[in-house]
Structure 1
Amino acid sequence: MEVVAMEKSLSKCDATYNRMEFPKKSLKNFPNIPAGQNYFNFVAVDTLGKRWGFKVSIRNVGRYRKPWMSGQWRRYAREKGLKKGDRVKLIMHVEGNAVRSYRIRAERNLTMGIWIPVEEFAQ
């Protein structure tokens, strides 16, 4: 079974900083954060088959507990040429034994709601 685990239109900060904030409601599509920690690591494969290591963290102080993704995020954003307004999707695949795997896809709005992979812009 496949589901969109997280989808986000990038802000200027997301596209240029070392992390991308994402909706808190998306956390339900990831493993539970281990007790005593405020993060977990996972790997996602892009549309070209390249593996990327990401880290999802949650602030553990204050009321604003919005998660963010770091790890290789900045490198991924730079390599894909991401900019404000691009969209990133994490697609989760759950196998019969409940093992989760992730794919990451970055898209750019071509025109009037038609989104295409950013890799097609590089050609």
Structure 2
Amino acid sequence: MAVYSKSLTESDVSTRLAVTSSWLNNLFPPFPAGQYHQVLDVEDENGKKWKFVLCIRQEGQYDKPVISQATWRPFVVHKQAEVGDEVEFSRKTDGASGSACRYKIRLIKKGMKKEEKEVMENEEKEVIKNEKKEVKVFGAIIGYSNN
């Protein structure tokens, strides 16, 4: 599972989330030629689903990836995110081919004690451990496994 985190800045909280190039190259799917945005389906630590639009520049020397204000701000408001809080994205690859990815996000408040953070991490690991995996034959789902 790939995990990336960032301490939120003023512009991350007030406008849009600036994403580092390492996230773009290692966490999110590549952009097809001629495409400058893509929709990411993301689930938070409470199971709430979010749709984020990841955008890159159409011109320039580097991509400067961001999650658009229109899709990012509702998350910030709902979570009452503040400057200094940490946002953590993770990607879990499903299936034998590794083509299907699930994205998770969580907000870690800046005042959270180390013990509380560890409890959150252990709860998340337990949820992942207990999730059922799809069993596929020739691409068709024929059942689910607890392994």
Same-fold call, TM cutoff 0.5: yes
**1:22 and 1:67 in contact (8 A); partners too:** yes
Higher helix share: 2
Correspondence for 2:22: 25
SS in 2 for 1:109: coil
SS in 1 for 2:46: coil
Correspondence for 1:41: 39
SS in 2 for 1:89: strand
Corresponding position: 1:57 with 2:55: yes
**Whole-Å separation in 2 of the counterparts to 1:37 and 1:3:** 24
Correspondence for 2:83: 84
Corresponding position: 1:102 with 2:100: no
Q: Is the radius of gyration larger for structure 1 or structure 2? A: 2
State the one-letter code of the partner of 1:103: K
* Worse-matched range after superposition: 61-70 or 90-99: 61-70
Structure 2: tracts of 5 or more residues without a match? 121-147
**Whole-Å separation in 2 of the counterparts to 1:64 and 1:93:** 27
> What is the CA-CA distance between 1:110 and the residue it aligns to?
2.3
> What is the CA-CA distance between 1:64 and the residue it aligns to?
4.2
State the one-letter code of the partner of 2:61: R
State the one-letter code of the partner of 1:27: L
Correspondence for 2:134: none
How many residue pairs get aligned? The number is: 113
Q: TM-score, normalised by structure 2?
A: 0.70
Q: Larger relative CO (CA 8 A, sep 6+): 1 or 2?
A: 1
